[in-house]
Amino acid sequence: MAPQLDGYFKQVDGMSGHFIERLRKAVAIPSVSADDERRPDVVRMGQFLADELRALGAEVEQRPLGKQPHKEHLDLPPVVIARYGNDKKKRTILVYGHYDVQPALMEDGWATKPFDLTVDEKGRMFGRGSTDDKGPVLGWLNSIEAHQKAGIDFPVNLLMCFEGMEEYGSEGLDDFINAEAKNYFADADAVCISDNYWLGTEKPCLTYGLRGCSYYSIEISGPGQDLHSGVFGGTAQEPMTDLVRVMSSLVDTDGKILIPGLSDLVAPLTDEEKSLYGDISFTMDNLYESLGSKTGIYDDKERTLMARWRYPSLSLHGVEGAFSAPGAKTVIPAKVIGKFSIRTVPNMEPTDVDELVYKYVEGVFASLKSKNTCKVSLQHAGKWWVASPRHWNFTAAGKAVEKVWGVKPDLTREGGSIPVTLTFEQATGKNVLLLPMGSSTDAAHSINEKLDKRNYIEGIKLLGAYLHYVAEEPMKEG
């Protein structure tokens, strides 16, 4: 089976230095989608990918996605689409990834410069975007190049779709995918996304579910400008005081969401589903290792996994406009915007969630009897996704994991969100597989994000092996 894989693997090992240099170049571009000032860098990152793909012989297009909603002065970064191979006798796999990253500042507590890839003696490659999602995106390019250098025929036609706004809710991409499903993506036989993580550090997994994400702002304003707290403290109603009270009413210390009616939207747990959790390779120590502490809410694996995968959670993210620098500043902020999000699960409809959130926040604010003004709004929403792993796409990926890592993968769901996964499934009608490269300790979105060299290099082998096994799977519909 897949006889050329050993030659391919040897080639990947031989090119590992080159592949790390490619990741270094990508990490050096600070493509932060949430920062308007960084938009030229996001565009530059898309250009970097397009140039690399063209140099590998792919047909590449950079398609504009129009203006950013609510920020009409800003163009959305182009989506980079590409095709490598157009052989009617081969299967066609559509892969998706994102080239934007979360914000990262030294003062957040990074030990190394976030946009300088820094490799330590344990082979940990630190840098923003290393695991989420520049390493996996480059994995597809590296796989093409290793095949070329080894003189091994590429086993499938590869369609690629790389976007620059995933960390900001994939703005503009749903319409694009819907429009291209029967055009540019028409011959895709299945979809593969490498943009999530293993549950621990040793056992690979294939993922068939994601939570959705509804992201909200609460804006509270009152005074016409920031005030001196000595002069005006005690005489003006303070927006920050109101905001803290509203935000503290959303969730308790044990993660219980306090918005009435929300838990009624959640699909009940069945016995069949309950029985799946026990067999998953995951321990509380895995959790503590990735948390960097023992501050988990539950003491057992089953409830921890369920809380991550199949129940909603509400997280408070920050307050725009509030004093946050070191030291002491005696200011009363005039306007503050609190940010929180709800990770949603089957069967929560985003519009039902919005309705409950608005009603509750407005009710809590009204109960404060404040003279300030409160506005609650949705910033972006992406829906949850759960699919069947009983499909040749998953079978091929399972064989690839066994070949590269020597173990059968766990079938997992993921607590994070990739909003376009459901869109790809619905628009193309094809099976979607999530095939992660990084591990649970990679600290995506956090300080000191990293990708282990082992996961990157073996991950490049994995993506290539998956494509070889896809080519061998008997053709069935779906």
Site for ligand L7UNP4BN in 253-312 (CB under 6 A): none
Contacts of 464 (CB under 8 A, 6+ apart): 5, 8, 12, 143, 146, 147
Residue closer to Zn ion (CB basis): 137 or 376:
137
Which of 257, 416, 426, 447: binder of ligand L7UNP4BN (CB under 6 A)?
A: 416
Cα angle value 16/18/23 (rounded, 5°) = 95
- Could you say whether residue 194 binds ligand L7UNP4BN (CB under 6 A)? no
Residue closer to Zn ion (CB basis): 79 or 361:
79
- Could you say whether residue 440 binds ligand L7UNP4BN (CB under 6 A)? no
Which of 319, 418, 420, 470: binder of ligand L7UNP4BN (CB under 6 A)?
A: 418
77-to-168, 302, 378 alpha-carbon distances in Å: 12, 41, 22
How many residues bind Zn ion (CB under 5 A)? The answer is: 3
Other Cβ atoms less than 10 A from the Cβ of 317: the count is: 12
Report the DSSP beta bridge partners of residue 192.
95, 433
User: How far is the C-alpha of 460 from the C-alpha of 13, rounded, in Å?
Assistant: 10
Span interacting with Zn ion, options 133-141, 263-271, 274-282, 292-300, rule CB under 5 A: 133-141
Query: CA end-to-end span of the chain, whole Å?
Result: 23
Least distance CB 468 / ligand L7UNP4BN (angstroms): 26
Residue pair 200/377 in contact by the 8 Å Cβ criterion = no
Nearest-10 crossing angle of helices 420-428, 173-180: 20
Residue closer to ligand L7UNP4BN (CB basis): 39 or 83:
39
Cα angle value 86/92/95 (rounded, 5°) = 115
Residue closer to ligand L7UNP4BN (CB basis): 166 or 242:
166
Residue closer to ligand L7UNP4BN (CB basis): 145 or 166:
166
User: How far is the C-alpha of 345 from the C-alpha of 384, rounded, in Å?
Assistant: 6
- Could you say whether residue 132 binds Zn ion (CB under 5 A)? yes
Catalytic residue at 299?
Answer: no
Which of 195, 238, 410, 414: binder of Zn ion (CB under 5 A)?
A: 195
Distance of CA 7 to the CA centre of its chain: 32
User: How far is the C-alpha of 271 from the C-alpha of 279, rounded, in Å?
Assistant: 14
Residue 164: name its binding partner from ligand L7UNP4BN, Zn ion, none (Cβ under 5 to 8 Å by kind).
none
Span interacting with Zn ion, options 191-199, 267-275, 375-383, 467-475, rule CB under 5 A: 191-199
User: How far is the C-alpha of 75 from the C-alpha of 430, rounded, in Å?
Assistant: 31
The active-site residue out of 132, 133, 163, 166 is 166
Catalytic residue at 174?
Answer: no
Is the peptide bond preceding residue 442 cis, with omega within 30 degrees of 0?
A: no
Site for ligand L7UNP4BN in 135-174 (CB under 6 A): 166-167, 169
**Tokens standing for residue 183:** 């055009």
Residue 196: name its binding partner from ligand L7UNP4BN, Zn ion, none (Cβ under 5 to 8 Å by kind).
ligand L7UNP4BN
User: How far is the C-alpha of 127 from the C-alpha of 444, rounded, in Å?
Assistant: 10
- Could you say whether residue 215 binds ligand L7UNP4BN (CB under 6 A)? yes
Which of 46, 321, 382, 389: binder of ligand L7UNP4BN (CB under 6 A)?
A: 382
Site residues for ligand L7UNP4BN per CB under 6 A: 132-133, 166-167, 169, 195-196, 213, 215, 382, 416-418, 444
Residues annotated as catalytic (active site), given as ranges: 100, 166
List of residues contacting Zn ion (CB under 5 A): 132-133, 195
